[in-house]
Amino acid sequence: MSTTRQAPAGERMADWADGRLGIYGLGRTYLRKVFPDHWSFMLGEICLYSFIILVLTGVYLTLFFHPSMNEVVYHGSYAPLNGIRMSEAYASTLDISFDVRGGLLIRQIHHWAALVFLAALLVHMMRHFFTGSFRKPREINWLFGWLMLIIGLFEGLTGYSLPDDLLSGTGMRFVDGAVLSTPVVGTYLSMFLFGGEFPGHDIVSRFYSVHVLLFPGIIAALVVVHLILVVYHKHTQFPGPGRTEKNVVGAPLMPVYMAKAGGFFFLVFGTIAVIAAVAAINPVWSYGPYRPDQVSTGAQPDWYLGFSEGLIRIMPGWEINAWGHTLVLGVFVPLMVFPLMLVFIGAYPFVEAWITGDRREHHLLDRPRDRPVRTAIGAAWISEYLVLLVGGGNDLWATHFHLSINAITWTVRVAFFVMPVIVFVVTRRVCLGLRRRDREKVLHGRETGIVKRLPHGEFVEVHERLSPAELFTLTQGEQPQPLQLGPATDSNGVTRRTGLAQRVRVRLSRAFYDEKSRV
């Protein structure tokens, strides 16, 4: 007599779920998806893991923070501020720092994770920029990452302002001045944002809602869509043996990649926790509560908004007075340049596609040296940011290095226009030089340092031929031909005139794909 063996409970539950959700089919399709193995791909994981850390620590902090500007008299563990009138927001921040178990550590982990998140996000975007992974079909995914960067900047600003200490209040005064400089609607925007005349009574509660609900929700949605598109488009990879536009060489998602990613998450979390435990950041008790009649010395924004401060500090205090109105150019012009710098990097994929006329799909990455102009543009953009970052801390540079603040300001003003040009030219020449060196390696091999004397007395250096894998890697990159400028013909052979836009695009394409840069 045969008996039917009953499946284990776990298997039966899996069958039940699969019959209703189709989990097995999805898992079979996506859990074995191949991901390439390269250290630069970890930058995106750092972004994701630091965002998860931000959410976890932020939830903990919301349990004890009171987003209110109602005044109270502080009576807590920090004796130097006992008896001082302050907002509930600042008092609760002190309580979190000194009275809540683990509160100070969680605060510092949260702040450090925010800095790491934005730093990793910017470096991750630059990796995509320099390797050309933003090309078709990933332009939309590039925009999603760019939006995450923009929202992250303002998410950091709102979180930085919540404690209502003297340092963050000084930053809010800066924001109020920028808003007021907006023509026609500046006063209305300021009154709406602060709930009245600065500093108002609603700014902390409004920033709290935006910081805790709106911006994190948008970032989380962008992260999910970003990852879905990464899976859908398949991962990019660097050129190499066996790698083509139609395949991906690497390890499967399960179990290899998931095991490595899980370990890397704890490594990132542990590193941020160690930094937060040994390096103090934003000690609000040292600044005291915010008062409109006081300004903290050495006030600086976090690094990611330092270039906006630099734009304000290096701009001359010009004004235009007309018809009873004053346009403060010293603030309004930087307020316009600030988004233009960000819009440029966000729109670049579409500009490059228009210039080069490249509408093909790309799944192999470029080496930065293979695209001299693009690499030079990216380096120039970074140099512009660093110049403005120095301008944003001109007072600290002056006091720490005993320099004239006027000399620093004028140096930054000149460097704002000159430095990107110098960096562009130097970077492009370096890329062309590296390309020529690769060409010599392909044609003659690698220098060994061994000098040999020929029978007729000539001394030559012995070269070692590259391996087939190295030769393939150096020559795999595409060699696009520059567009030809001249009369164009249609399908019937009839010559037609070339429009101005087409001629401009051809000339730019010639500059973009420099013939000297080809191996």
Chain position carrying tokens 């039966």:
12
Query: Cβ(381)–Cβ(342) under 8 Å?
Result: no
Identify the bridge partners of residue 451 per DSSP, sorted by sequence position.
461
Tokens for 226?
Answer: 């970003």
- Distant-in-sequence, close-in-space partners of 457: CB < 8 Å, separation ≥ 6: none
What global pTM score does this model have?
Answer: 0.86
Buried/exposed 362-375: b ≥16 CB within 10 Å, e otherwise: bbbbbbbbbbbbbb
Tokens of 294: 């006081």
Omega of the bond leading into 199 within 30 degrees of 0 (cis): yes
Parallel, antiparallel, or unpaired: how do β-strands 488-489 and 495-496 relate? Answer: antiparallel
How far is residue 398's CA from residue 393's CA, in Å, rounded to a whole number? 9
Q: Give the C-alpha separation, 488 to 503, whole Å.
A: 11
Q: Which among 184, 171, 189 is positioned nearest to 392, based on CA atoms? A: 171
Q: Rounded CA gap, 346 and 224, in Å?
A: 20
Pairing type for strands 85-87 and 71-73 reads antiparallel
Cβ atoms of residues 482 and 510 within 8 Å:
yes
Instruction: Give the pLDDT of residue 38.
Output: 82
Candidates 180, 132, 124; CA nearest to 152 is 124
Tell which residue, 507, 514, 352, has the closest CA to residue 433.
Answer: 514
Neighbours of 61 (CB within 10 A): 20
Best CA proximity match to 390, nearest among 302, 307, 316 = 307
Give every residue of the chain whose pLDDT is below 70, as ranges: 1-5, 24-29, 297-298, 477-519
* Closest C-alpha to 141, from 233, 226, 40, 217: 226
Pairwise CA distance, residues 298 & 295, whole Å: 9
Question: What does the alpha-carbon distance between residue 461 and residue 371 come to, in Å, rounded to a whole number?
Answer: 31
pLDDT at 91 (0 to 100): 94
Residue 451 to residues 454, 458, 467, Cα–Cα distance (Å):
10, 10, 21
Angle at which helix 103-131 crosses helix 372-392, to 10 degrees, equals: 150
Six token digits for residue 105: 């550590």
| Helix axes of 215-233 and 42-62: crossing angle, nearest 10 degrees | 150
CB atoms within 10 A of CB 211: 23
At a CB cut-off of 8 Å and minimum separation 6, what does 190 contact?
176, 179, 180, 198
Residue 15 CB contacts under 8 Å (≥ 6 apart), including other chains: 7
pLDDT, tens digit, 9 for 90 and up, residues 174-197:
888 888 888 878 888 888 888 888
Handedness of CA 81, 83, 86, 90 (dihedral sign): positive
- Looking at residue 519, its pLDDT comes to 44
Rounded CA gap, 174 and 127, in Å? 32
Beta-bridge mates of residue 87: 71
Give the whole-angstrom CA distance, residue 136 versus residue 56.
35
Name the nearest CA neighbour of 109 among 279, 261, 223.
279
User: SS3 of 447, please?
Assistant: strand
Three-class SS of 103-170: HHHHHHHHHHHHHHHHHHHHHHHHHHHHHCCCCCCCHHHHHHHHHHHHHHHHHHHHHHHCCCEHHHHH
Distance between CA 53 and CA 59 in Å, rounded?
A: 10
Give per-residue pLDDT as tens, 296-332: 766 778 888 888 888 988 988 888 887 777 788 888 8
Type of residue found at 512:
F
Q: Which residues of 272-295 are buried (b: 16+ CB within 10 A; e: fewer)?
A: bbebbeeeeebebbebbbbeeeee
Q: How far apart are CA 215 and CA 155, in angstroms?
A: 6
